[in-house]
Amino acid sequence: MVRYTFMVISVLMSFFGCARTAVVRLPEPREPLRKVEYPRHRIKIEQPLILLYRGIYLNYYAAGRLKRYIESMRRTELNCVVIDFKNDVGFVTYDTKVEFAKRIGAVKPVLDLESIVRVCNENGIYLIGRIVVFKDSILAKYDGGKFCIRHEDGELWRDRKRNLWVDQYSTGAWDYVIDIAKDLAERGVREIQFDYVRFPSKGDLDAMRFPHKTEDIEREDLMVEFLKRAYTSLKPYGVNVAVDLYGYTTWLESMKQEGQNLSKIENWVDVVCPMLYPSHFHSDFKKNANPREYHIVYESLVNGYEKIGKEKFVAYIQGFDLKSPNFGPEYIGNQIKAVRDAKARGYIVWNARSNYSALFQLLNSKR
């Protein structure tokens, strides 16, 4: 049954589409990336990479109430927060210094970045800035759709939920995202976490057209080129660079449609965050394992170790009740136990509404 399930997943998830463009290719590292020397002064950050990640995700609305969350975290093992500074609509949620973001109407400065950095530092909270890369309706609409994926009929291409995406081959779009990341790094955010570093996976995929594509290159190699550029641009600022990946990347050799390949990507990030939400795996996947949520997280991490080793893994785990009738404190606890048993670097709990009542119930019961 396991072998059959894996074959089904492979068929469903590993499409054979490829994508092509002209890009600047950076050389492969000849030594461990942490030893690379940079010509400019590196901003000093004390303890830049925390030993064990125990975090939560905060959307921009929740981040506006950061002190309240930190007060709840104070009595628990939690030590880091991931905050949306560029979300999946394309809004830049703080007063960025990147002029292009202002020009395209992306800036929605609901967050006080300086205050967030100060509060996190005062309370010993490791601050991670989440930046959504290629799912961006605001940039996609700008200047008549200059940066967007097009439909074969010439209109703007939309995914199944009617969202717009930026053309993955546009190096101008790459530089826009990297400029925001550098701005955050200069102003005290300690880790940059890139999300949606991929191609769309839902919608009329055959109708997608990429105006900026000029040269043959596999989609997964294109995503690596983006991360190379981001990594080498950001490391002089002393920050760590993370990427969010589909949970299936720890099981499959390659996700060609989405352009995610764990083995290729890991050379150009400090932290790999597979999204191991049991709700997002096929319903037949580990359906006879008990508890299923434990085995999905544990076995996904162990599989990933066979590809890249364990040093970089911080697992996103499920903090919401989708497709999980037994969701609650124990459900979250089983996932955390799986992360610890697998000896991963840590976990981040995801809840899109930033509602962590079940998590705090669990953590407070262990005090």
Residue 157 tokens read as 């291409």
Residue 48 tokens read as 């830049």
Residue 235 lies in a domain: yes
Residue 66 lies in a domain: yes
31 pLDDT higher than 70: no
CA nearest to 110, candidates 100, 95, 97, 96: 95
- pLDDT for the residue 41: 42
DSSP string, 102-118: HHTT-EEEEE-HHHHHH
Residue 35 lies in a domain: no
DSSP string, 99-160: HHHHHTT-EEEEE-HHHHHHHHHHTTPEEEEEEE-SB-HHHHHHHHHTTBPEETTSSBPB-T
Based on C-alpha coordinates, what's the Rg of the chain? 20
Domain range for 107: 57-275
Q: What is the pLDDT of residues 192-234, one digit of tens each?
A: 999 999 999 999 999 999 999 998 899 999 999 999 999 999 9
Overall number of domains in the chain: 1
Cβ partners under 8 Å of residue 329, min gap 6: 358, 359, 361, 362, 365
Residue 25: DSSP 8-state: P
Would you call the peptide bond into 291 cis, given omega within 30 degrees of 0 as the criterion?
yes
Residue 79 lies in a domain: yes
Residue 127 tokens read as 């601050």
Residue 170 lies in a domain: yes
Residue 284 tokens read as 């037949």
d(CA 349, CA 102): 32
Predicted structure pTM score: 0.88
136 pLDDT higher than 90: yes
- pLDDT for the residue 49: 60
45 pLDDT higher than 50: no
Q: What is the pLDDT of residues 212-221, one digit of tens each?
A: 999 889 999 9
- pLDDT for the residue 75: 87
Residue 51 lies in a domain: no
DSSP string, 165-234: BB-TT-HHHHHHHHHHHHHHHHTT--EEEEE--S---SS-GGGEE-TT--S---HHHHHHHHHHHHHHHH
- pLDDT for the residue 6: 43
16 pLDDT higher than 80: no
- pLDDT for the residue 43: 44
Please check whether residue 353 is in contact with residue 313, taking contact to mean a CB–CB distance below 8 angstroms.
no
Q: What is the pLDDT of residues 81-124, one digit of tens each?
A: 999 999 999 999 999 999 999 999 999 999 999 999 999 999 99
Residue 154 lies in a domain: yes
DSSP string, 242-274: EEEEEGGGGTSS-BTTTTB-HHHHGGG-SEEEE
Residue 215 lies in a domain: yes
Of the pLDDT bands very low, low, confident and very high (cuts 50, 70, 90), residue 50 is: low
Residue 78 tokens read as 């939690």
Q: What is the dihedral of CA 144, 149, 86, 236, to 10 degrees?
A: -110
| pLDDT above 90: percentage of residues in the chain | 84
| CATH number of domain containing 145 | 3.20.20.80
Q: Per-residue b/e over 279-298, b at no fewer than 16 CB within 10 Å? A: ebbeeebbeeeebbbbbbbb
